Amino acid sequence: MTVIPAAAGPGNSTAPAQPARRRRNRDQWTAIAVILPSILATAIFVYGFIGWTLRVSLSNWTGLMPDYSFAGLRQYLDLARDPRFAIDIRNTAIFTVLFLTSCLVIGLFLAILLDQRLRGENIFRSLFLFPMAVSFIVTGVAWRWLMNSATGTRISGLNLLFHQLGLDPLINNWHLTDPPWGIAFIALPAVWQMSGFTMALYLGGLRAISDDLREAARVDGASEFQIYRYVLLPLLRPITLSVMIILGHISLKIFDLIVAISQNNIALDVPSVYMWRTTFDGNNYGKGAAIGILMLVTVAVLIVPYLVYSMRSEAEL
Amino acid sequence: MKPGAARRATRPVLYLLLIGMAVFYLLPIYVLLITGLKSFAEVDLQRMWDLPTGIHFENFASAYEKLAPHLWNSLRLVIPAALISSMVGSVNGYVFAKWKFRYSNLIFTLLLFGMFIPYQAVIIPLVQFMERLGLRGSISGLVLVHVIYGIAITTLIFRNYYAGVPTEVLEAGRMDGAGFWGLYRYVVFPLSIPAFVVVLIWQFTQAYNDFLFAVVLTGNRTWPVTVALNNLAGSQIVQWNVQMAGALLTALPTLLVYIFLGRYFVRGLMAGALKG
């Protein structure tokens, strides 16, 4: 009987708090348990499989049966001497440079156009962006026929259109142009598909800039051109960085579009296609794995600093 | 009002530029459409740009006949993949936004890396693994793959969305005695419809448009439509006009989603593109 009032003193405040804290602790463990399957899946399907691929790339595995006998860097050294892989790297480089610069220039151009508060802005924005929703395979099929290089009486596609419009000097061989420039034309459908995305990001950026800033520049006597050049564009730099990273990694991995357009034409080969063909058609698993790892390293060089940077800047918040 | 006048003078030029660019973006769809609507008799590569004389559905019928089973495969793949992905992403995002723990930011960043990897770096083990589980060649196996490789992006979108939910709202729920699931069920989930729409559309589009996973993990009976279309396009027997009609049919589901839910689609793009 006397115990109760004694405990009621200071214990009163901690008694309800104790279970609440315990409850919160339990909830915290629930939270960790909830994401555990995702962490495990990522650990296995991303990191585990990368490790496994690395192991395959260091093996002699050719043929249908797995063979993990250690081959050291043989597969990588073979690739270094492989003329087809040299073509792949050259093609990726040409494609990436053209694809990135065109998307940036066209995207920015369209964003500035749409930033002029014209009527029908929404319609135009949707028109520029819809190719994003379409599969690269669909894009490839459509553009393969548009970029038909037949001549004379069999002329068709864009060449035919140029001819009908009296623009004959524009007629060309498209992706069947002599190597290494054929791949440059495959950047065209890729730009068709992704430049609207760049536009959307730039436009979002322009709209996020306060109108006061433009007004202030106008009061100072700056022309519209100067406002863009000296006030707005410098503020868009972080977006340019994001676009370069997003499109850059898409470009380094480009696969379906090439498959759909090139239809096995070696002159238009890229690492992802080579990897797929050599692994699943040729059963050269060791070589395929080595290409996969090299692709990963290239993409990681681009992505990891970005991820680390965004993690750090978030920790500061 | 001099700048106003100058602006009015440049307007037509701006519209002209916009229309010119719009033509570029519409050109391929225009060709797919007019080719699809021609009769077999008037199909001719050398008259590609001529308008059809009437409206015919022969090309679409022929393409549909070849692609129909694969279109269904795609839907059977995409709907569960999008639904499961969004559920997983939602609870994950809830944890990473509102139940941070030691190293949770590091773990989140490690998860995100999965979003960017070239799948060529994991596909050999993936095929072996799915084979061993008896899931290679099945649509459910492909659903699993899309859910797993979708963890990163879906978690990211939901986490960013939930980061905007004030902590006070959750505290209030806690005072009323709600725990982890109670807060999710009664506070967080009802607020997340917009994020769900974004993630559902995103995953729908991703899984539908995928080619690489599909081509190595499914067989000719379970091919989704992208693989079937690519084979159609590579075939010497199938006419180009049927290929084009097939391309338009294949594009239709995602195009419809884009037309009706475009706003959310764009928001999803932004979320995926710009972390934070």
What residue segments make up the domains of chain A, in order of their start? 86-274
Is there a contact between B22 and A124 if contact means CB atoms under 8 Å apart?
Answer: yes
Amino acid (1-letter code) at residue B98: K
Helix runs in chain B, H state only: 2-36, 58-98, 104-116, 123-132, 139-163, 167-175, 180-183, 189-191, 193-209, 212-217, 225-234, 240-273
Q: Which of B31, B248, B265 sits opposite A133 (nearest CB)?
A: B265
- Output DSSP code: residue A167: -
Do A85 and A274 touch, CB atoms closer than 8 A? yes
- Cβ-count burial of A301 within 10 angstroms (0-12 exposed, 13-18 middle, 19+ buried)? exposed
Helix (H) or strand (E) run with residue A130 in it: none
Residue A178: the pLDDT is 82
Helix (H) or strand (E) run with residue B38 in it: none
The verdict on B187 touching A (C-beta cutoff 8 Å) is no
Rounded distance between C-alpha atoms, residue A288 and residue A296, angstroms: 12
- Cβ-count burial of B252 within 10 angstroms (0-12 exposed, 13-18 middle, 19+ buried)? middle
Residue B18: the pLDDT is 93
Token readout for A162 is 């140029």
Q: How confident is the model at residue A187 (pLDDT cuts 50, 70, 90)?
A: very high
The verdict on A272 touching B (C-beta cutoff 8 Å) is yes
Residue A265: the pLDDT is 87
Rounded distance between C-alpha atoms, residue B218 and residue B224, angstroms: 8
Rounded distance between C-alpha atoms, residue B209 and residue B215, angstroms: 12
Within 8 A of A164 by CB-CB distance, chain B residues are: 49
Query: For residue A313, is pLDDT > 90?
Result: no
Query: For residue A5, is pLDDT > 50?
Result: no
Is there a contact between A27 and B179 if contact means CB atoms under 8 Å apart?
Answer: yes
Q: How many residues does chain B have?
A: 276
Rounded distance between C-alpha atoms, residue B139 and residue B219, angstroms: 10
Residue B270: the pLDDT is 61
Residue A163: the pLDDT is 85
Rounded distance between C-alpha atoms, residue A147 and residue B148, angstroms: 37
Do A64 and A283 touch, CB atoms closer than 8 A? yes
Within 8 A of B151 by CB-CB distance, chain A residues are: 38, 41-42
Query: B47 to chain A nearest CA, in Å?
Result: 8
Do A252 and A298 touch, CB atoms closer than 8 A? yes
The residue to which tokens 């589980």 are assigned: B133
What is the rounded average pLDDT of the residues A168-189?
87
Within 8 A of A160 by CB-CB distance, chain B residues are: 46, 48-49
Query: For residue A165, is pLDDT > 80?
Result: yes
Query: For residue A158, is pLDDT > 90?
Result: no
The verdict on A267 touching B (C-beta cutoff 8 Å) is no
Centre a 10 Å sphere on the Cβ of residue B5 and count the other Cβ atoms it contains.
9
At A59 the three-state DSSP class reads strand
Interface probe for B, chosen from A22, A32, A46 (most Cβ of B below 10 Å), is: A46
Do A135 and B208 touch, CB atoms closer than 8 A? yes
Rounded distance between C-alpha atoms, residue B44 and residue B60, angstroms: 16
Q: Which of A128, A146, A315 sits opposite B25 (nearest CB)?
A: A128
The verdict on A233 touching B (C-beta cutoff 8 Å) is no
What is the rounded average pLDDT of the residues A155-163?
85
Centre a 10 Å sphere on the Cβ of residue B69 and count the other Cβ atoms it contains.
15
Q: How confident is the model at residue A157 (pLDDT cuts 50, 70, 90)?
A: confident
Rounded distance between C-alpha atoms, residue A258 and residue B74, angstroms: 22
The candidate with the shortest Cα–Cα distance to B45, out of A120, A102, A154, A138, is A154
Rounded distance between C-alpha atoms, residue B47 and residue A9, angstroms: 95
Do A193 and A131 touch, CB atoms closer than 8 A? yes
Is there a contact between A255 and B250 if contact means CB atoms under 8 Å apart?
Answer: no
Residue A2: the pLDDT is 34
Q: Which of B112, B126, B266 sits opposite A307 (nearest CB)?
A: B112
Is there a contact between B48 and A200 if contact means CB atoms under 8 Å apart?
Answer: no
pLDDT tens string, chain B, 276 residues long: the values are: 455 666 677 888 899 999 999 999 999 999 999 998 988 888 888 888 888 888 889 999 999 999 999 999 999 999 999 999 999 999 999 999 999 988 998 999 999 999 899 999 999 999 999 999 999 999 999 999 999 999 999 999 899 889 888 888 888 888 888 889 999 999 999 988 888 988 998 899 999 999 999 999 999 899 999 999 999 888 877 788 899 999 999 999 999 988 888 777 676 666 555 443
Residue A9: the pLDDT is 38
Residue A3: the pLDDT is 36
Is there a contact between A38 and B151 if contact means CB atoms under 8 Å apart?
Answer: yes
The residue of chain B with its CA nearest to that of A223 is: B3
At B244 the three-state DSSP class reads helix
Token readout for A138 is 């669909």
Is there a contact between A38 and B88 if contact means CB atoms under 8 Å apart?
Answer: yes
The verdict on B154 touching A (C-beta cutoff 8 Å) is no
Residue B165: the pLDDT is 87
Residue B182: the pLDDT is 92
Rounded distance between C-alpha atoms, residue B152 and residue B163, angstroms: 16
Amino acid (1-letter code) at residue A191: V
Rounded distance between C-alpha atoms, residue B15 and residue B235, angstroms: 42
Longest dimension (CA), chain A: 110
Q: Dump the DSSP string for B186-199.
A: IIIHHH-HHHHHHH
Residue A169: the pLDDT is 84
Phi, psi of B137 (to 5 degrees): 95, -10
Q: How many CB pairs under 8 A join A and B?
A: 271
Give per-residue pLDDT as tens, A107-148.
Answer: 999 999 999 888 888 889 889 988 988 999 999 999 998 998
Classified by CATH at the fold level, domain A86-274 comes out as MetI-like fold (1.10.3720)
What is the rounded average pLDDT of the residues A212-231?
88
For chain A positions 79-118, those within 8 Å of chain B (CB to CB) are 106, 110, 113-114, 116, 118
Q: Which of B21, B31, B119 sits opposite A128 (nearest CB)?
A: B21
Residue B259: the pLDDT is 85
Rounded distance between C-alpha atoms, residue B32 and residue A232, angstroms: 39
| Domains, chain B | 2-47 (no CATH), 60-273 (1.10.3720.10)
Give per-residue pLDDT as tens, A272-297.
Answer: 999 999 999 999 999 999 999 999 99
Query: For residue A14, is pLDDT > 70?
Result: no
Query: For residue A23, is pLDDT > 70?
Result: yes
Amino acid (1-letter code) at residue B21: M
Provide, for chain A, the percentages of residues in helix, strand and coil under a 3-state DSSP scheme, each rounded to the nearest 5.
Answer: 80, 0, 20
Q: Which of B128, B180, B250 sits opposite A31 (nearest CB)?
A: B180
Query: For residue A4, is pLDDT > 50?
Result: no
Token readout for A190 is 């890729």
Do B264 and B205 touch, CB atoms closer than 8 A? no
Rounded distance between C-alpha atoms, residue A198 and residue A202, angstroms: 6
